[in-house]
Amino acid sequence: MTVIPMQGDEFICSECFLVKHRSQLDHMGADGPVCKECAA
């Protein structure tokens, strides 16, 4: 398995700790960025 480093247009969700693309960013929470899935 090849691991690709996190890209400049990605972030780690502070709720689920998964790497997501910037298009999935919902808002910045107190602990960091939150994805749309966790914000729902």
Q: Assess contact for 39 and 17: CB atoms under 8 A.
A: no
Nearest CA among 38, 19, 7 for reference residue 29? 38
- 18 assigned to some structural domain: yes
- 3 assigned to some structural domain: no
Read off the pLDDT band of 13 (50, 70, 90).
very high
- What tens digit of pLDDT does each residue of 16-28 get? 999 999 999 999 9
Which domain, by its residues, includes 14?
Answer: 10-39
Say what the pTM is: 0.85
- 1 assigned to some structural domain: no
Work out the average pLDDT over 7-13. Answer: 98
**Number of domains the chain is built from:** 1
- 32 assigned to some structural domain: yes
pLDDT reported for residue 5: 96
Read off the pLDDT band of 35 (50, 70, 90).
very high
Amino acid (1-letter code) at residue 16: C
* C-alpha distances in Å from residue 10, one per residue of 4, 34: 12, 12
- 4 assigned to some structural domain: no
